[in-house]
Structure 1
Amino acid sequence: MQFIHPRKGTIRLKDMVKEIRKYLEEDPSARYKVVIGTDSQTSRSETLFVTAIIVQRVGKGALFYYSKKRSRPLMDLRYRIYKETEYSLTCMERLKEKGFLGISMDLPVEIHLDVGRKGETRKLIQEVVGWVTSVGYTAKIKPDAYAASAVADRFTK
């Protein structure tokens, strides 16, 4: 899994974890949270998934990265929302594998889901929120799911 910093470009996972560690150490008295969300965009030729990883220094800015994954075009909305949720959870697992929890054991983790009470995705809320909460994370939906609906969405275009 390769990540991109908006100003620095491509970065390896282990280097991203180092940068996050440094960011957390800059202001140890601040309150932080980790937010991960995935959005997708489908065209005739492919579906592009973008996962955003945000480490928020609450009230004082944030550090963020994103990764892109391409697949054959996925037209089924339910399947795409499930894939988005899977990619967000997989991203958090990859961060844990690289020692991320060693530096952030007490940080709250939010998984932002690209579903909301309006439109077709409303039928999927209970399923994907249940999935995320069952593995121990806080789930957020639109309009509170900014990692998916604003940050990741920006890089799917």
Structure 2
Amino acid sequence: MTDPDPAPAELVHFYSYATGVSLELPVGFEQVAHDDGSATYAVLGDDDVTPVPGTQLLVQVVATLPDDATDTDRDEAVDGLATALADRPGTPVEQAELQVDDERVVLLTTRGDDATTVLSAAAVTPHRLVSVTAVARDGDVLAAHRAAVESIRWVGL
């Protein structure tokens, strides 16, 4: 007799007015910071203040696109951001292109010398150029971060 598949992690929905991004993360994550153009999520340590290292996920509006931006403009913007994200230190592990809520997302994964893995995503919506950067120290958190990117819904305000 085989064991049944483990139950999927319970997820919590987060939304940031500052970024226009809706996403899901496992129970235990909290929004730990936000400002006019970004939101940071993490698991808090025993002090309920300090994020546990290797759990942070930052969603940031990098630029606002003009109303008359063409598909070519949008593709160039996301490609430029993806190139900038790829220039960060670390050993490249993966580069993929996804469709997330009908928008193009370039996903990059790099591994650092300190056993951390950085997942970076560049996305463009009709009016915003967005980056998502997540740092993980174990595979479970990395998988949760990737699932969070794939769960994104772009909310236009």
Question: Normalising by structure 2, what TM-score?
Answer: 0.31
Higher relative contact order (CA 8 A, sep 6+): 1
Larger Rg: 2
Question: Normalising by structure 1, what TM-score?
Answer: 0.31
Task: Looking at secondary structure, tell me which structure has more strand per residue.
Answer: 2
